[in-house]
Structures are given as C-alpha cells and as structure tokens.
Amino acid sequence: MSRKTTVIGLILLILLADQGLKFWIKLNHPTGEVLRVFGWNWFRLHFIENPGMAWGWKFGNEMGKVILTLFRLCAVLIGTWYIGKFIRDKYSMGFLICAALIYAGAAGNLIDSLFYGMIFDKGLHYSTVLHDYIGYTGVAQLGEKGYGAFLHGSVVDMLYFPIVQGNFPSWLPIIGGDPFEFFSPIFNIADASISVGVITLFLFQQKLVKKEEPVSPVTGTTNTNVSDQTQIS
C-alpha cells in the first residue's frame, strides 16, 4: 500500500467515525443527556454543543464565530497542501500518520462549523437579544430549514471520561474542599485525533520528523591488479 493511499485512508476513516458518532447522538439524544458506556461510570457519552474552540472557549458574537470558522477553513486548506508536500518529500511513515491525525481532526470539526447550522433544525445558536448562545429542547432532526446559516454551525461533543472524582484536601489553601475531577473535558473523536497526533509528535519528534534517506545504488569494485605481462597462450 502506498503512502498516499495510507494517509488518505486514515483521514477518511477518522472522518467517517467522527461524523457518524456526531450524527447518531445529534439525531437520537437531547443535549445534556448522559449515557454510561457498557455501564461504566468512568466512560460516558455526555452530549453537548460547543460554539467556539476547545474547552468551551467562545470567540465573541456571531462575527467572532464566522472568523473562527474561516480560520479553521484556511488551516485545513493549508494543511491539505502540506500533507501532499510531506508525502512527496518522503517523510517517515510515523510522521505522516501524525500529520493525518491532526488534519482529519481539524477537518472533522470544520464540517460541523460549516454545515451543521444548515442541515439540522435545532442547535446551539447565538441570540441577538440575549447577546449569548442559547440551547434547545428535544432532539434535532435533519430539515430543509436549519438553525443557522453557513459558517454558523456548532461543534458536537460527547466523549467524557470522569476517571477520578472527589474533593481536594481541606488543608490546601484556596481550593481546599472544592470538587476535583480528572478527566473533566468533554470532546469528540476529531479532538482526540488532533491530541494524539500533536502529543505523539511532541514526544517522538526526533524519530518522526525526518525524511527517508535515498537508497544509494550498490556498485562493485575490484582490487585485482592486471599485469601488463600477462600473456595468453
């Protein structure tokens, strides 16, 4: 299998998994609903929508949302060119896989921002009256009239791993007695893909960020000295 085929296949696989899970939870569950996977308390599907960046950060009002989406679009377009360049320059397979993970994650969340406002009838959207984002009740459906315009979709998150829950020791200053939870962020497959790619590159950059050395042709040499006085009888 060629490098190009491997990279494209990995990107498509991540996009299908990411969008498939998002569509399933969006079309079957209301926001805020929590499902325990296999009955485990530490692995849950907690459906929320995110209008901005990671960790729920927002980027101003509707104009800020458009700017953020356009930034994501530019990043994916530039990333498309770089992915092709990395393949042509014969970077290591490990590096290409990390680059594909990051690219697929960025593209997955970009799809939400570009189109979800147009194809779903309900979603987290900005209220010009309240000057803030407001949620919705019930379960969303695919419809001709969406909850927002192009570039105004909210990102769907659902993966939640509250592995450790408790309280900080009371003797700690300021935070003593406050609730503690690890791992509290709610994210999606696209976010996880980006994180795995970035962390792997950071930890193993010396091994991964390199190009394959060209294979030099093997030439044979001889040390045999031929005497000028050699005669053929």
| Residues identified as active-site | 157, 191
Q: How would you class 216 by CB atoms within 10 Å of its CB: exposed for 0-12, middle for 13-18, buried for 19 or more?
A: exposed
CB atoms within 10 A of CB 140: 24
Contact 197, 98 (CB under 8 A): yes
> Residue 8 is encoded by which pair of tokens?
């494209």
State the alpha helices, DSSP H only, in 29-151: 62-88, 93-119
Q: What is the DSSP string of 145-175?
A: S-SS-TT-PPEEEEEE---EEEE--TTSTTT
Integer Cα distance of 87 and 96 in angstroms: 7
One-letter amino acid for residue 48 of the chain:
I
